Amino acid sequence: MIGDGDVAAIMSNGDFNEPAVFGGTLTVQGWFTDESDATNIYGVDIEAQKPSFICDTDDVVSVQNRTSVVIRSRTFTVERIEKLGIGNSVVYLKT
């Protein structure tokens, strides 16, 4: 089973620590999923319909809806932030 420490290790090992710049000043490391990313979870093929960014909840406490964010030289707007309850949040983005 994956615990909180495992999630922190995954986010900091270099595979998922992509920078996002919120509001032009706040840089946060996390995991970006693009709107056309496809994956297979438990044998089911799915395709993400909206871009999102997963990061530590503490890193985005000051971020509000409609804040601009730049990831991979692309500008998005924060649609909403969902706390996952494990110290991480999903930042849902829109273009």
Question: pLDDT-derived band of residue 65, with 50, 70 and 90 as boundaries?
Answer: very high
Return d(Cα 38, Cα 35) in angstroms, integer: 9
Mean pLDDT of the chain: 85
Question: Measured at the alpha carbon of residue 26, what is the angle toward residues 22 and 31, in degrees to the nearest 5?
Answer: 65
pLDDT at 27: 97
Look up residue 66 and give its DSSP letter: T
pLDDT at 34: 79
In the chain, the domains with their CATH numbers are 4-94 (2.40.10)
Helical residues (DSSP H) of the chain, grouped into ranges = 4-12
pLDDT at 50: 79
pLDDT at 3: 58
78 touches 93 (CB < 8 A): yes
